[in-house]
Amino acid sequence: MPHTCPPWICFTFDNRLRRIFHNPQKILGPYVQEGQTVLDLGAGKGYFAIPLVRLVGDKGLVIAADIHPAMLRGITKRALRAGVASRIRTHLASENTLGLADEVDFVLMFWMLHETPDMARLLSEVRAVLKPSGRGLLVEPRLHVGHEMFEKMAAACVSAGFEPLERPRIALSRAVVLRKS
């Protein structure tokens, strides 16, 4: 999988120091409500997935999707340790397709779309699983994705049937909140 960050490097993203810059509750709290079903796309080892479970509450569900089985095993272990395993489900996607049939209220695409070989296809699949009232948050790292590239990604979202709602400030990142148009 040449387009993706290897699993062994995730320790640089999934650590306690990161909370200084990327506090999951602050970033996601405005968009996620109790009882929702949330898709964490490219979930890695669960940096956002585990806090998302707390935001959706006892009646909600988090679907943590990734293309690396090792990442999903890590999420399962972390969810068990955190006591939230019953409210998180892992989903193994492929490099070419999301392959998910569930309807979701919110989709998080944090620092992953730039690694996708077929962005248009993935965005189309994301749109298909998002409920009509649903929202998505696309966040890309400034280090890898310059302004021009991010604007192309935002345009790809529009082409896939999304409408940009706002551009929240997220440290070290470029971001846009989306809904179905």
Model pLDDT, residue 13:
61
Q: Which residues of the chain have pLDDT under 50?
A: 1-2
Query: Partners of 176 in the beta sheet?
Result: 138
Q: Where are the domains of the chain?
A: 42-93, 103-181
CATH class (in words) of the domain with range 103-181: alpha beta
Residues 71-122 have pLDDT tens digits of: 999 999 999 999 999 999 999 999 889 999 999 999 999 999 999 999 999 9
Query: Partners of 137 in the beta sheet?
Result: 108, 177
Model pLDDT, residue 54:
96
Please give the Cα distance from 142 to 136 (Å, whole number).
19
User: Could you tell me how far CA 76 lies from the centroid of its own chain?
Assistant: 17
Question: Hey, CA dihedral for 156, 134, 143, 8, is it positive or negative?
Answer: negative
